[in-house]
Amino acid sequence: MAIYNLGSINADLFYQVPHLPQPGETLAALSMSKGLGGKGANMSVAASRGAALVSHIGAVGTDGVWARQRLLEYGVDTRHITVLDQVPTGQALINVDRDGENAIVLLPGANDRISENLIGQALSESARGDTLLIQNETNNQAYAAKMGHELAMYVAYAAAPFSAEAVQEVLPFLDFLILNEVEAQQLEDEVGIAPADLSVTDIIITLGAKGCRWINTQKGTDQRFDAFTVDVVDTTGAGDTFTGYVLACLDRGMPMEQAIGLAMKAGALMVMREGTADVIPDLKDVRAAEF
């Protein structure tokens, strides 16, 4: 099986700051670093490090060829990442405070220029039962979700950055939905339907330090999973790591309960590290972790 990920690719610019800046405040950064990021790239790397075969569908500018090469080095199939002229690669300006909390400003760049033709070419290679993963950092999400559904793929959506309108556009085609508890409440307020009553088979609601919930609407089950207690360095990319690992485990035939358990270990290791895609833990480290 394989995972096809229609996902963003960003240059992540990290600024370590004494505290997150307030309106009108100018802060001196303690340090700065640059790395590979974007929710899409993070999830592709996480799924690849979780031992899945991953093909990334996306776009970069000529200034982002290094990001495509980095994904290739991490085991991701990059044949469906196009390089666009006169369009910048996506960027994320990430402020991280002493407690590991972050505030992020995004420039979509090439992530908003992914063509229907590119998506169609990539998904034409898929097999029935392969996974299609989408997040809300690219264009043509609904187009891809509908195509994936018609091809009998397992269509998964990570509803971040959250937009109720974006979720509603893909909702009819989804088999898997992951969002945090604030977003789950916002979606319920918008559509008037509780998560357990949605027409999506598997729904995961992340609860931060409290763990997560898994709702299976076909079985009518709602299970809670506690988080591991660790020393937090940086929360950036932890949710992406969790999502990528869950889907990698499911793609390899692992039951959902085990997939969540392994993914929570990966997320716990991730918050103990500073960075995004470049520091996502591999499966060997995750299996060896003892919390």
Residue 291 pLDDT class (50, 70, 90 cuts): confident
Residue 171 pLDDT class (50, 70, 90 cuts): very high
* pLDDT of res. 101: 85
How many Cα atoms sit within 13 Å of 64 on the Cβ side?
Answer: 33
Q: What is the pLDDT of residues 51-96, one digit of tens each?
A: 999 999 999 999 999 999 999 999 999 999 999 999 999 998 989 8
Beta bridge partners of 35: 12
Under DSSP, the state recorded for 269 is H
Q: What is the pLDDT of residues 263-273, one digit of tens each?
A: 999 999 999 99
How many Cα atoms sit within 13 Å of 116 on the Cβ side?
Answer: 5
Count of Cβ atoms closer than 10 Å to residue 283 Cβ: 17
* pLDDT of res. 99: 85
**How far, in Å, CA of 124 to CA of 53, rounded?**
16
Q: What is the pLDDT of residues 175-203, one digit of tens each?
A: 999 999 999 999 999 999 999 999 999 99
Instruction: Find the mean pLDDT for residues 98-124.
Output: 94
**How far, in Å, CA of 103 to CA of 106, rounded?**
10
- Which residues are catalytic, by number? 240
* pLDDT of res. 245: 98
